[in-house]
Structures are given as structure tokens and as C-alpha cells.
Chain A
Amino acid sequence: MSLLKSVEKEIRKCVKCGVCRAHCPVFTELGREPAVARGKVALASAVLSGKTGLDARLYDDMSKCLLCGTCVEKCPNDVPVDRIVMAAREALARKRGLKSFHKAVRQVLKRRYIMNIGALTASLLSPLIFRKVPGKSGLRLRLPLPFVGRDRYFPKIASKPFLSRYPEIIPGQPDKPRVLYFVGCMTNFIYTDIGDSAISLLRSLGCTIIIPKAQQCCGFPAISGGDAPTFADLAEKNIEIFEKYRPDHIVTACASCGSALRDLYPELLGELRPQLARRCGDSAGKVLDAVVLLHNLGLKPGDSGAGQKAVITYHDPCHLRRRGITKEPRDFLKCLPGKVFVEMEQHGSCCGLGGTFNVYHYGTSLAINSRKCDSIIKSGADLVVTGCPGCMMQIAGGLSKTGAKKRVLHTLELLSKSLKP
């Protein structure tokens, strides 16, 4: 059964009340009904009833979604619109082929070594390809490339991927948990400091840490383009690794990876690869956001860095907010010595990255992002903290455009800094 047919019951739950219009970040920018959840559900329903086909226009409509799930949270009937959009994209990709960016993503994800070589090349050639954004940690392209305009912000690519710098297993104390760290592509290739912080924090608690070198991309970028086979292949490889090591916990420090491993694997594999679905339930249940695990294990922030006074605020990544993970990061941030925590307006609204949404709808992505950046600036915070490297990249890029001198860090980085001797 196709993914789309499998969500038919969900589609019928929509009563067209229009609540989603109040909350969809894309609709807020575009203002047209096909951009909002209610419209997308109507279009998906029309595909199933034969009223419309899987045509180019539909492909475009379905691409205008961040998969942020805000509509799902607010829907009085809990219609899982993000699942419906993913299912529609899968049907469209099968019928019309993947969009060119997702074709490239597929090639790269299937061949991990390309990413490694690519990262190395990019980091070596970086001074040629990029110019530094003054005063910031980011870069801009010197020449335009396909998919990317000159004004696009790039974070620095790490010269050595995170996975290449750590052993497979870091032994800890025998009475402490065995934790498998799922690093995720953004941390592995770009924001390696997040990974370093995660390891250092887990070590401080005596955990045995498993950092499998064979781990793959979580698959979210693939499925967000409708590429179900790549998603399932990646899931299979990751599940095999989880089964091999049988950790107590599987931690992620990337909100999107966490959602993929914990929610998408069981939900989607049930349709795509039922045998695999049966196996993944066990590991899915072990997936925890790193901040939550550290909170549960009783980590106490230290007072290194108490001298560096700063006003900090927290941006809730969509994929943490939806899983109800909003308190643990704030508990930590509110007790960091030397730091004053302020809540920004719209702290839970989407940063606008939407994974690959940003590629095809750059203008809209920027517009959504600028609202977030306005909230940040209005809050008076010097430092924005969040729990997703994707959000970090998007927000850092947006803030750099405003010229505001603000830093963006991951919760784990601040925590780790506070414990440095």
C-alpha cells in the first residue's frame, strides 16, 4: 500500500475548520490556501479520489511545507499533516522522480565517503570558495552555485569530521549507563563542537559512550524529499548498529535526528518495510534527546564561565517542542551562573529552515527566519541557545544579515563550557 493510501483515514479527519491558518509559518508568509495544512489535506484527498493527479503543480504545493508540525499540534482533530505531506511527496517522487537537489542528496547519502571527501575538500578550498562574514563565524560564497545564491550564509565546514576523531567506544564506569551517541550529519561535518560537548558531558557522568563509525544519516533529508527507499536503507543500517550495541540509551543532540529515529522510523517503516518496523520499536524507545538524558541523570552545571556575563534566550526547535521537550533545556539554562535567562516572544515558532525547504523556498525561509530574529533582538539577549544544529545554522545566518552582534550556541555547548576546569 502506498504511504498516501495508508494515511487516507487521517486525511478524512480534517473538518476544514481553518485553525491551521492561524499557526502555519508558511501560510503566514504566502497567504494562499494551498500553502496551509487545510489546503494540503484537500489536495492529498483529491489525489486519492482521482480529482487531481500527481502533477508538477502538486509537487510544488507539497514542497511548501516545513514539516514543522505546528499545525498538527494545534489541530483539534490531531490530523497528522506532516505525515500526509511526506506521503504525498513520496508518491510524487515515485511518479515524477526526485527533485534535483534530492537526487544529489540521495547520491551523497548513499556514499558516506563522498561526504567525508567533500567535507575535507570544502574545508581546504574554503578560503577560495567562501569569504568570511566579518565578525561572524560564517561564510558566504564567492561565486554562485546551483541551488545557492551569493547571499546565502554558510557555517564553516569542519576540517575533520567528528566521527573520525573519536574511538568507537569510550569506556565509563560499570554502574553507569551505556549510551550510544548518534551524531547526525550537521554535527559530524559542521558543528563538531556540539559533539565534543556531548561526549565531554556524558564522560563527566561516567557513562560508557558508543560512537559507531558506521552510523548513517538519520534519513530525514531523504524522506523530506519523498525518497522512501533511501530513507529505509539508511534506517536499516542504523537499526542494525543499534541492535549490535544494545545501548541503554540512544542520544541525539539534533532535534530532527531525534524525531527521525524515535518517531519516523516506527511510523513510516511500518508501511515501507514491515520486517524492519518490527525490529525498530526497541531502539526507537531508547532514543532520548541528550539534554533530557543529562537532566534525568542529574547533571549539574558548573560555574566556569560565570565571569562571562550574558543575557541568554532559548529557541525551541520544532522537533523538540513537538515531543514536549521544553522544560529540561530551560531548567539548565536558568541556573547557569553569570547568565540571565529571558524568554523571547514566539520562542516556539519555527526558525524557517525546514530542512530542505530552505533550498527550494529560500525567500520564504528567510522571511520566516526574520520574524524569529526580530524576536531574538527584541528580547535583548546576547546569546541564543537551542537544541538543533539546523536551527543554529538558520538563526546564525539570519542574525548575520541583521548585523546584530549575537551568538548562537547549542545547549550542550553552554553546559560543557560551564563544567570546564
Chain B
Amino acid sequence: MLENHILKKLKSIVGEDNVTVESHDMLCYSYDATQMEFLPDAVVYPARAEEVSQILKLANSENLAVFPRGAGSGFSGGSLPKGGGIVLVTTRMNKIVRIDTENLVAVVEPGVVTFQLQQEVERLGLFYPPDPASLRFSTLGGNVAECAGGPRAVKYGVTREYVLGLEVVLPNGDIIRTGGETMKGVVGYDLTRLICGSEGTLGVITRIILKLLPLPETKKTMLAVFSSIDGAARAVSAIIRGKIIPSTLEFMDHTAIRCVADHSQSKIPETAGAALIIEVDGDRDLVEKQALAIHEIIKTMDLLSFKAAKDAEEAEELWETRRKVSPSLRKVNPHKINEDIVVPRSRVPEIIRGIEAIREKYSVPIVNFGHAGDGNIHVNIMIDKDIPGEAEKAEMAVKDIFRAALELGGTMSGEHGVGLSKSPYITMELTPAQISIMKAVKRAFDPNNILNPGKIFPD
């Protein structure tokens, strides 16, 4: 319950219409895509950095937790108000401040939806590559806080590769700039890189300076269907060994294919063992050459069919199918434990085999899909929590999967972040020395631990 005098102060900061304590709003801001739920005590919608600063100053002095939130579509619980407190929604700060076509830089507010920026810059012949599956509704602020990835990361890298600078409000209310608009800079510690991926625990991002690229002339989207997942995994390695870096190299296993098969627009036959969506971009003749080369390379690897989309509309249909996979997994079982491990690319066939073994061991459905091109597999364990013993089995499976990935030189999370979901497991990957110094950094930024407490590090 929020004390009255705090509610009054919040109203005076953002205006009465932009703060709520009504139970219906608390319910609507208690969840994200993990389906975990925690009720906050208040939701506040600031319009500018100064308001965010005053909110944090107030929260800091009153020892109230503040939970930054964009679209609330994250997969690790990063925006969930666990333990209660104030949810700080950034979506009113949604202007594209400036697109600089000479310097290839965009300055945006955190509430801008990623797709919105991409549309704007593409109109000008420019390109913002990071394309998380949620791009039509997730915000750039959220993308930066979680260092979001997406299929194009195999060629273009993740969000942090594009963040040149930030404006951040610190937990004590100070507003600082990090980085800037230049392509290079090394003065003082790299706070930009630190904040990117800090999951909203070090500061609230109120402005983002992004690097843009020129828009590739064209792209070609291909669908390769395989009879076995092993064939698909070998094809991934072979393409990279062939020195072709496609702009995306996505795979879907048999169960993922079946889950989206119900959608009339799915282009992948239900009986396939695995599918790869491959995209190459660049100059027209290069793209044609690469597409042909890819077909040559993968022809002998249990390939059932190979098709190139003939226009942008067909390509978009293929992508819609891929984006629907994650949410449609519910058809297997109602509850999903969603992991996004990464292994070195060359070890993708091994991790797939390892996950299959784990699936056998616990006889629990596990669906694999994702960014095979950079070794980042979205491993989804589908259970029915209401069946006794299932949740425990899933937890053991998760641990085994993490162990397997780490043993292959991998990491527990490529894009989703730790948040709440992976917090119990991070000691499997991070050493005490690493955790100790990270916690020291957190304390330096947030001595009273008011900003997104309880995330990343188990208490």
C-alpha cells in the first residue's frame, strides 16, 4: 500500500492522470511474457527525464522500490515488481528525437517501439539491424536494458553494438550522459556498455543514441526444410564454414513446426524434421550469388525442400511464421520454461544432441528453435504445472541444459537476460569473484537498492 503523502508527491510530479493506485491497473502491470505476476503498489507514467529524476529521488528517500518498464514483454521477469513498489512505465517518452542522415545516428526516447524506428530510418535509406521477435511492440529502452538480440545478430550483432550513448537517471536522481554521438571515444569507463544489458538495475534510460547503417540494397529470404534436425544443424555449420554469413540463420525443430502449422499462413509442412530460415542481404548480385551458394552447400544434408521467397510479402509471411513460434508453444503444454542458451557455433550439433538426451531422460517435451547461426538456441521446456512432479522435472532439466551449454564453452543467456528467471542459476556460470565485483558496481550506483531490486543476483 502506498502511503498517501507519497501518492500526493507522485501526482505533483507527473500530474494526476499519470499515476494510479487502482487495483485494476496494478493487475495490468503485474505481468510480463514469463507469466509470473507480482502486484505493484503504484504505476507512474513520466513524460521526461526530469520527472523520472524526481520520482527516483523520492523513492530513494522513502526506500521505495522502483521497477522500470517498457512494453512489459520481457522473457526473464526483468520488469516485474516483485516485492511491491512503483512501476515506472517509460512509454510516454516515445519520440524519435532526431535522425541524423549525415552522421548515421538516431536519437530516441526509451519508449519508442523498435519497429517504429526501423520504419522511419528505412524510409531514409538507413538501417537499425537488431530485430528481436518482439520488435513490433517492445521498446528500445527495454531492448537496451536487456541487450536484446534477434535473428539478424548473426551478421549484425546485438543491441549493444549500436548504442553510442545514453542519458540515464541514476537511483539518486542524478541525470548523467554516457558516451555520445561519435563513432569512437575512450574517456573514462565505458558506462554505456555497462548500462546496456544491466536490466534496469543501475539506472533508468531516458535517451538513447543509436548508430545506424546504410540499408542494404536488397535481401533474399529462403526456407530450407530438412528431414532431420541433425541435418539442419550440420547445414548451419557448413554455411558458416563456407564463409557466408547470412543476415539471419534461424532454425525450428519438429515440435516448433507443428505448433505453428495450425496457422493457415505457415509455409512449413507439418511432417518436417527441422527448418531453416536463411536470409542474405546486400547488393543484388552478391545476394543472388550467396543464395545459390547456400543451396549448393546444404543440398546433401537431409534437405527435403528449398524455396526462396519471390517478393517482400512472401518473405514477411515466412517471418511471421517464425515469430509466432514462441507464443504458440502453448499447444504442447500450458506452461513454458524458456531458456536462451548460447554455445560456440561449431558446437550447435552437440548441444542439440545433448538437449535431446535430456528430453529423453526426463520425458518432458522440449522445443528448440532460434538463432542457430550464432549458436543461440531458444530451448523451451513445456510442462503442465498442475501435474504433480512436472515442475520439479523441468527444473532439473533446466539445470542439465545449462550445465551442458556451459561445458561446451557457452553461456546461460544470449538475449533474454537473467532477471528473475535465471537468478537462481547464475552461480553455475559466474564465479564468486565475478559476482562480488558486479554487486559492488550495483552498490556504487544504487546504495539503497531501490532500483529493480531482486533481479539478476540472488539475495
Chain A positions near chain B (C-beta within 8 angstroms) = 12-13, 15-22, 31-34, 39, 42-43, 46, 51-52, 57-58, 61, 75-77
CB distance from A10 to the nearest CB of B (A): 12
Closest Cβ of chain A: how far from B265's Cβ, in Å?
A: 11
B23 and A52 form a contact (CB under 8 A): yes
Chain B, residue nearest A57 (CB): B24
Contact, CB under 8 Å: A16 / B31? yes
In Å, the complex CA distance between A15 and B33 comes to: 7
Q: How far is the CB of B85 from chain A (nearest CB, A)?
A: 17
Task: Say which one of B120-128, B296-304, B326-334, B423-431 lies at the interface with A.
Answer: B326-334
Least Cβ–Cβ distance between A165 and chain B, in angstroms:
42
Chain B positions within 8 Å of A39 at CB level: 28
Give chain B interface residues in 123-177, CB to chain A under 8 Å: 134, 136-138
Taking a contact as CB atoms under 8 Å apart, the answer to whether B330 and A19 are in contact is no
B23 nearest CB neighbor, chain A only: A52
Q: Measured between C-beta atoms, what is the minimum distance from A89 to chain B in Å?
A: 15
Interface-centre pick from B27, B71, B113, B324 (highest chain A CB count, 10 A) = B27
B288 at the interface (CB under 8 A from A): no
Give bound CA distance, A20 to B71, whole Å: 11
Query: A58, B113: Cβ atoms under 8 Å?
Result: no
Query: Bound complex: CA of A134 vs CA of B45, how far in Å?
Result: 43
Q: CA of A417 to CA of B336 in the docked complex: distance in angstroms?
A: 57
Give chain B residues whose Cβ lies under 8 Å from the Cβ of A13: 330
Give bound CA distance, A39 to B31, whole Å: 10
28 A-B pairs within 8 Å (CB atoms) are namely A12-B334, A15-B35, A16-B32, A16-B33, A16-B35, A17-B327, A18-B33, A18-B71, A18-B134, A18-B137, A19-B136, A19-B137, A21-B73, A21-B137, A22-B113, A22-B137, A31-B91, A32-B25, A33-B28, A34-B24, A43-B27, A46-B27, A52-B27, A57-B24, A58-B24, A75-B327, A76-B263, A76-B324
Q: Across the interface, do B73 and A17 meet the contact criterion of CB distance under 8 Å?
A: yes
Q: Are B138 and A18 in contact (CB under 8 A)?
A: yes
Please give, as numbers and ranges, the residues of chain B lying within 8 Å of A21 by CB-CB distance.
71, 73, 137
Indicate whether A17 sits within 8 Å of B326 (C-beta atoms), given known contacts A34-B28, A43-B24.
yes
Instruction: List the interface of chain B (C-beta within 8 A of A).
Output: 22-25, 27-33, 35, 45, 71-73, 91-92, 113, 115, 134, 136-138, 263, 323-324, 326-328, 330-331, 334, 336
CB distance from A404 to the nearest CB of B (A): 24
Minimum CB–CB distance for B338 against chain A, Å: 10
Of A17, A19, A20, A58, most B-chain CB atoms within 10 Å = A17
* B94 and chain A: residue at smallest CB distance: A31
**Which of chain A's residues have a CB closer than 8 A to the CB of B115?**
22
Using Cβ atoms and an 8 Å threshold, which residues of chain A touch B330? 13, 15, 77
Q: B136: which A residues are within 8 A, CB to CB? A: 19, 22
Give the contacting residue for B327; candidates A12, A19, A51; CB below 8 A: A19
Q: How far, in angstroms, from A135 to B25 measured CA to CA in the complex? A: 46
Whether A42 and B31, one on each chain, are in contact in the complex, defined by CB atoms closer than 8 angstroms, is yes
| Nearest-Cβ distance from residue A31 to partner chain B, whole angstroms | 6
Residues of B contacting A51 in the complex (Cβ-Cβ under 8 angstroms): 27
Known: A22-B115, A76-B327. A17 touches B27 (CB 8 A): no
When distances are taken between beta carbons in the complex, the residues of chain A under 8 Å from B24 are 34, 43, 52, 57-58, 61
Give B23 Cβ to nearest chain A Cβ, in Å.
6
Closest Cβ of chain A to B368, distance in Å, is 18
Q: Which residue of A lies closest to B24 (CB)?
A: A57
How many angstroms from the CA of A34 to the CA of B31 in the assembled complex? 12
Chain A residues near B25 (CB-CB < 8 A): 32-34
The listed residue with most B CB atoms (<10 A of its CB), out of A22, A33, A34, A43, is A33
Given A31-B91, A77-B327, check contact A43 B28 (CB 8 Å): yes
Query: What chain A residues lie within 8 Å of B45 (beta carbons)?
Result: 32
Interface centre among A12, A22, A46, A57 (most CB of B within 10 A): A22
Chain B residues with Cβ below 8 Å from A34 are 24-25, 28
A14 to chain B, nearest CB (A): 9
- Given A17-B326, A34-B28, 18 more A-B residue pairs with CB atoms under 8 Å apart are A13-B330, A16-B31, A16-B33, A19-B136, A21-B137, A22-B137, A31-B91, A32-B25, A34-B25, A39-B28, A42-B27, A42-B31, A43-B24, A43-B28, A57-B22, A58-B24, A61-B24, A77-B330
Q: Which chain A residues border B73 with CB–CB below 8 Å?
A: 17-18, 21
A70 to B166, CA, bound (A): 36
Residues of A within 8 A of B23 (CB): 52
> Which residue of A is nearest B335, CB measured?
A15
Residues of A within 8 A of B71 (CB): 18, 21
Residue of B nearest to A40 (CB): B28
Query: Complex Cα distance A20/B28, Å?
Result: 14
Instruction: Provide the residues of chain B in CB contact with A52, threshold 8 Å.
Output: 23-24, 27
In the complex, the chain A residue whose C-beta lies closest to that of B29 is A33
Complex Cα gap A240–B394 (Å): 55
Query: Chain B residues near A77 (CB, 8 Å)?
Result: 327-328, 330-331
Q: How far is the CB of B7 from chain A (nearest CB, A)?
A: 17
B328 contacts A31, C-beta separation under 8 Å: no
B28 pairs with A17, CB closer than 8 A: no
Chain A residues within 8 Å of B324, by CB: 76
What is the distance, in angstroms, from A84's C-beta to the closest C-beta of chain B? 15
Q: Are B328 and A76 in contact (CB-based, < 8 A)? A: yes
Which A residue's beta carbon lies closest to that of B260? A76
With both beta carbons as reference points, the residue of chain B lying nearest to A35 in the complex is identified as B28
Determine which residue in B24, B45, B113, B323 has the highest number of CB atoms from chain A within 10 A of its CB, and name it.
B24
A375 to chain B, nearest CB (A): 15
Residues of A within 8 A of B331 (CB): 77
Q: Are B327 and A15 in contact (CB under 8 A)?
A: yes
Q: Which residues of B contact A43 (CB under 8 A)?
A: 24, 27-28
A46 to B336, CA, bound (A): 21
Our pick among B22, B92, B134, B327 for the contact of A31 (Cβ within 8 Å) is: B92
CB distance from A291 to the nearest CB of B (A): 22
The answer to whether A17 touches B33, judged by C-beta atoms less than 8 angstroms apart, is yes
CB within 8 Å for A18 and B27 given contacts A31-B92, A77-B327, A77-B330: no
- List the A side residues contacting B334 at CB < 8 Å: 12
CB neighbours (8 Å) of A15 from chain B are 33, 35, 327, 330, 336
* In the bound complex, CA of A15 to CA of B382 (Å): 13
Compute how far the CA of A223 lies from the CA of B446 in the bound complex, rounded to whole angstroms: 53
Among all A-B residue pairs, the 10 with the closest Cβ atoms: A76-B327, A18-B73, A22-B136, A33-B28, A21-B137, A22-B137, A17-B327, A39-B28, A76-B324, A76-B328
How far does the Cβ of A402 sit from chain B's closest Cβ, in whole Å?
24
In chain A, what residue has the closest Cβ to B18?
Answer: A32
Q: How far is the CA of A21 from the CA of B71 in the complex (A)?
A: 8
A76 to B73, CA, bound (A): 14
Contacts of A20 in B (CB 8 A): 137
A110–chain B nearest beta-carbon distance, Å: 33
* CA–CA, A60 and B414, complex, Å: 41
Most chain B CB inside 10 Å of its own CB: which residue of A21, A57, A76: A76
* B32 partner residues in chain A, CB cutoff 8 A: 16
Residues from chain B with Cβ under 8 Å of A16 in the complex: 31-33, 35
* Complex CA distance for A57 and B24, rounded to whole angstroms: 8
A33 to B28, CA, bound (A): 6
**A20 to B73 Cα, complex, angstroms:** 11
**Chain B: CB-nearest residue to A13:** B330
A61, B91: Cα distance in complex, Å: 19
Query: Smallest distance from the beta carbon of A112 to chain B beta carbons, Å?
Result: 38
CA distance A31 to B139 in the complex (A): 13
Cα distance A15–B73 in the bound complex, in angstroms: 11
Q: Within the assembled complex, what's the spacing in Å between the Cα atoms of A192 and B193? A: 65
Which residue of chain A is the closest to B115 with respect to CB atoms?
A22
Complex: how many Å from CA A207 to CA B408?
Answer: 73
